[in-house]
Amino acid sequence: MKKLSLLFGVSLLATFSVSADIDRGLEIAEETQRRDSGFGDYAVSGTMILEGPGGFTSERKFKMYTIEVPDDGDKRLVNFLEPRDLAGMVSLTYSHGLEPDDQWIYMPALRRTKRLAARDKSGSFAGSELSFEDIGTWEVKKYTYKYIKDELLDGKPTFVVENIPAYPYSSYKMIKEWVDQEIYHPLRLLYHDINGQPLKEMHFYDYQKFAGKYWRPMKMVMTNLKTGAVSTIIWSDYEFGADFTASDLSPAALRRWSK
Amino acid sequence: MGKSYVSILLVFFMLVLHSMANGATFKGEIEGRYYNYAKAPLFSEQSDRQGQYSLATTLDYNDQINRNTDINVSIFGRYHPEADNAYQGDVRELKLSYYAAQLEISGGMLMERWGVLEAFSPVDILNPRDRIEDFQGDVKLGIPGGNLSWLLDDGRVDIWLLPYSREERLAEGKDRFRTSAFAVSDAAFEKGQNTLSSAMRISQMSASVEFSLSYYNGHARSPYFTPNLDGVGNVITLQSNYARIEQAGFELLWVRGQSLVKLESVYRSTAADDFTGLGIGLEREFPRIGSTRNALTLYGEYYYDGRKSGRSSPLTPFQNDIFLGLRLALNNLSSTEYELRFTHDLDYDSTFWELLAKTRIQRQWFIEVNLYQFVHVDNDPALKSFAADSRLAVNVTLGF
């Protein structure tokens, strides 16, 4: 009987402990959201350098525009500038937490705006190691969270949190995240494939504060742990408060963005 | 080269100089193309050179004059010594646009595309086709006019006024891909070439459904032909005629999981007859095959066109046809893509195959290989004149 009571007590403690870890994980995610909300909109220029396993490299340049949508996912437009065969192509994504995103692409050669089926977001973004799921805007409800521990990463104190996708068509089983304890933004993401095996990792560098409040990285490096292929994005020219309207970032207006 | 082409080039290079001065966007392509035809041509006037080459350029200019106004110019030219007109060109777009809140007003040479289907869009009516550049009609000619658009959060309303009708550009004389053995005489427009055409289109979308309703009143963009006879009843030339038409169109796109269900339908009325056209399609995308980055897209479409053969029936390759397509994008550093397209006419059992492969070979250099193969087209009125035009084309393009 004593043994049974002890077992019951340990199980109860473990349950409380797991529950506490989940609450703590959610608290960290909600604090991240709270600190980053209210930006309205922003634009940023990106240079993406793709490195294949053989050392062969290729570069893409693009401009990205994001509108914050408080009660839904954000709207994000990517306008490709280079290489020449991608120049003028524009993609637009309406992110929707647990529902499939809405996605369109404008193809300048055909002068055609084409709707894409975007339930499965595992496709490569412009030939890079990043998928459409990776470049989508983050929201609290897209994951459930479990706090693991505090850990130093490159000398910075971080919370280590497991993000378990709530989206039923996610291509990941879990994403382990190292959250900077000072600014509440990720410093490292370790993506586990649907079988739970580490697949790729993203490192974030050189966070800077814009508009007095919003931290954004100046560099992101995604490494495919299976192939060794690396995709690096250098960010520049962040511009907050450009006052885009919903109709600016609508499928009907995509052609206007194509340059 | 005609004076008009020289004028166009002069104006364009003035714009380029202007763009250098104020930071507008200027980009272009120079393309060298080699064609190899498997068979001798069907018609005696056609060039019988098996291997042919051409040089083409596309120049695009965009200038954001201020936050509300921009100008877009796109011109195209090709030199093809074996063509009936060695120099061909077009101002595909020369458009001044003004944006005011949710309104857009544009005027000049316009290029519009309607439709949701992959192989052919029955609803797409505003621009005439350049069938020398592409016999299937994917390449179009600019059309002069004005466009007023009202942009909504979930759709748009467009009105076009087009004061001038242009002819479809057809292969003739030495050209391959001729639609007839006879030369085509000057076009005749039912109400005159300068009669106003107008169109309206309303598009609306929700989370999983998009639809558009359109109405067009003006000259048809494809001609019907009548023979010009000599004194003893022999055909000398064909007269191309552009009937005045009214066309109502409907487009529907339904997102179902990882698939798109598509529908296009038109009802067209002319003085001679009325008909209904329809296209339905399914597109399925597999964004990642296994552990690779390869993405596969599959297409299946069916087309029906209710036109009876007769005076007002232009030759259309989509009267009772199925289209199947496959596109494989490797998503590698060179953006390599393969595409296989199959169109089969259920009435005449004719088939058209198209195979396409393209990749980037340097930062600004691209190569594209394109194979056309016509099979059992001898009885198909729309395709029989292309029976000897199966060919391989290799394009090498420099983008700048």
Question: CA-CA distance, A45 to A238, in Å (whole number)?
Answer: 7
Contacts of B104 in chain A (CB under 8 A): 256
Residue B185 is predicted with a pLDDT of: 84
B29, B99, B151 ranked by CB distance to A252: nearest:
B151
**Domains of chain B and any CATH numbers:** 3-399 (2.40.160)
A84, A112, A117 ranked by CB distance to B257: nearest:
A117
Residues of A with CB under 8 A from a CB of B: 50, 52, 56-59, 83-88, 96, 99-100, 102, 110-112, 115-117, 119-124, 127, 131-132, 171, 226, 245-247, 250-253, 256, 259
Distance from CA of A212 to the nearest CA of B (A): 26
A59, A87, A123 ranked by CB distance to B27: nearest:
A87
Residue B1 is predicted with a pLDDT of: 47
- Taking an 8 Å cut-off on Cβ atoms, the answer to whether B287 and A111 are in contact is no
Residue A256 is predicted with a pLDDT of: 86
- Taking an 8 Å cut-off on Cβ atoms, the answer to whether B151 and A84 are in contact is no
In this predicted model, which residue has the larger pLDDT, A138 or A240? A240
Region A179-203: mean pLDDT is 96
Contacts of A247 in chain B (CB under 8 A): 102, 151-153
Q: What are phi and psi of B60, to 5 degrees?
A: -120, 135
* 3-state SS record for chain B: CCHHHHHHHHHHHHHHHHHHHHCCEEEEEEEEEEEEECCCCCCCCCCCCCEEEEEEEEEEEEEEEECCEEEEEEEEEEECCCCCCCEEEEEEEEEEEEEECCEEEEEEEECCCCCCCCCCCCCCCCCCEECCCCCCCCCECCEEEEEEEEEECCEEEEEEEECCCCCCECCCCCCCCCCCCCEEEEEEECCCCCCCEEEEEEEEECCCEEEEEEEEEEECCCCEEEEEECCCCCEEEEEEEECEEEEEEEEEEEEECCEEEEEEEEEEECCCCEEEEEEEEEEEEECCCCCCCCEEEEEEEEEEECCCCCCCCCCCCCCEEEEEEEEEECCCCCCCEEEEEEEEECCCCCEEEEEEEEEECCCCEEEEEEEEEEECCCCCCCCHHHCCCCEEEEEEEEEC
Task: Please count the other Cβ atoms lying within 10 Å of the Cβ belonging to residue A110.
Answer: 12
B25, B256, B333 ranked by CB distance to A52: nearest:
B333
Distance from CA of A241 to the nearest CA of B (A): 16
ipTM value, please give it. Answer: 0.86
B111, B113, B210 ranked by CB distance to A115: nearest:
B210
Check the CA dihedral B26-B90-B246-B279 and report its sign: negative
Contacts of A250 in chain B (CB under 8 A): 151-154
- Taking an 8 Å cut-off on Cβ atoms, the answer to whether A252 and B288 are in contact is no
Contacts of B295 in chain A (CB under 8 A): 123-124
- Taking an 8 Å cut-off on Cβ atoms, the answer to whether A124 and B283 are in contact is no
**Which token pair is A190?**
């370790």
Contacts of A56 in chain B (CB under 8 A): 333
Query: What does each of the 400 residues of chain B score in pLDDT, given as a tens digit?
Result: 455 566 666 666 666 666 655 668 889 999 999 999 999 999 999 999 999 999 999 999 988 888 889 999 999 999 999 999 999 999 999 999 998 878 999 999 999 999 999 999 999 999 999 999 999 999 999 999 999 999 887 889 999 999 999 999 999 999 999 988 888 888 999 999 999 999 999 999 988 999 999 999 999 999 988 998 888 888 888 999 999 999 999 999 999 999 999 999 999 998 888 889 999 999 999 999 988 889 999 999 999 988 765 544 555 667 899 999 999 999 998 999 999 999 999 999 999 999 999 999 988 899 999 999 999 999 888 899 999 999 999 999 999 8
A50, A99, A111 ranked by CB distance to B111: nearest:
A111
Chains A, B: CB pairs < 8 Å: 111
- Taking an 8 Å cut-off on Cβ atoms, the answer to whether B331 and A52 are in contact is no
- Taking an 8 Å cut-off on Cβ atoms, the answer to whether A124 and B288 are in contact is yes
Question: CA-CA distance, A251 to A102, in Å (whole number)?
Answer: 10
- CA angle at residue A181 from A176 to A184, to 5 degrees? 75
Region A93-114: mean pLDDT is 89
A84, A124, A246 ranked by CB distance to B153: nearest:
A246
Of A153-162, A200-209, B98-107, B248-257, least confident by mean pLDDT is B98-107
- Taking an 8 Å cut-off on Cβ atoms, the answer to whether A84 and B102 are in contact is no
Q: Are the C-beta atoms of B261 and B253 separated by less than 8 Å? A: yes
Residue B308 is predicted with a pLDDT of: 66
Q: Are the C-beta atoms of A253 and A247 separated by less than 8 Å? A: yes
Under 8 Å CB-to-CB from A159, ≥6 apart: which residues? A28, A147, A150, A178, A179, A181
Of A15-19, A21-25, B370-374, give the range with the top mean pLDDT.
B370-374
Contacts of B156 in chain A (CB under 8 A): 252
A115, A121, A252 ranked by CB distance to B260: nearest:
A115
Average pLDDT of every residue of chain A: 89
Distance from CA of B17 to the nearest CA of A (A): 18
Residue B267 is predicted with a pLDDT of: 96
Contacts of B363 in chain A (CB under 8 A): 58-59, 83-84
Contacts of A86 in chain B (CB under 8 A): 335
Distance from CA of A211 to the nearest CA of B (A): 23
Distance from CA of B388 to the nearest CA of A (A): 28
- Taking an 8 Å cut-off on Cβ atoms, the answer to whether A247 and B111 are in contact is no
Residue A135 is predicted with a pLDDT of: 87
Contacts of A50 in chain B (CB under 8 A): 333
**Domains of chain A and any CATH numbers:** 35-257 (2.50.20.10)
Whether A226 shows a pLDDT value over 70: the answer reads: yes
Region A57-74: mean pLDDT is 90
DSSP chain A: -HHHHHHHHHHHHHHHHHHHHHHHHHHHHHHHHHHHTT--EEEEEEEEEEE-TTS-EEEEEEEEEEE--TTS--EEEEEEEESTTTTT-EEEEE--TTSPPEEEEEETTTTEEEEE--S---SBSTTSS-BHHHHSPP-GGGEEEEEEEEEEETTEEEEEEEEEE-STT-SEEEEEEEEETTT--EEEEEEEETTS-EEEEEEEE--EEETTTEEE-SEEEEEETTT--EEEEEEEEEEE-----TTTTSGGGHHHH--
Distance from CA of A99 to the nearest CA of B (A): 10
**Which token pair is A90?**
């524009």
In this predicted model, which residue has the larger pLDDT, B400 or A201? A201
Name the residue in chain B with its Cα closest to that of A93. Answer: B207
Burial B337-357 (b: 16+ CB within 10 A, else e): bbbebbbbbeebebbbebebe
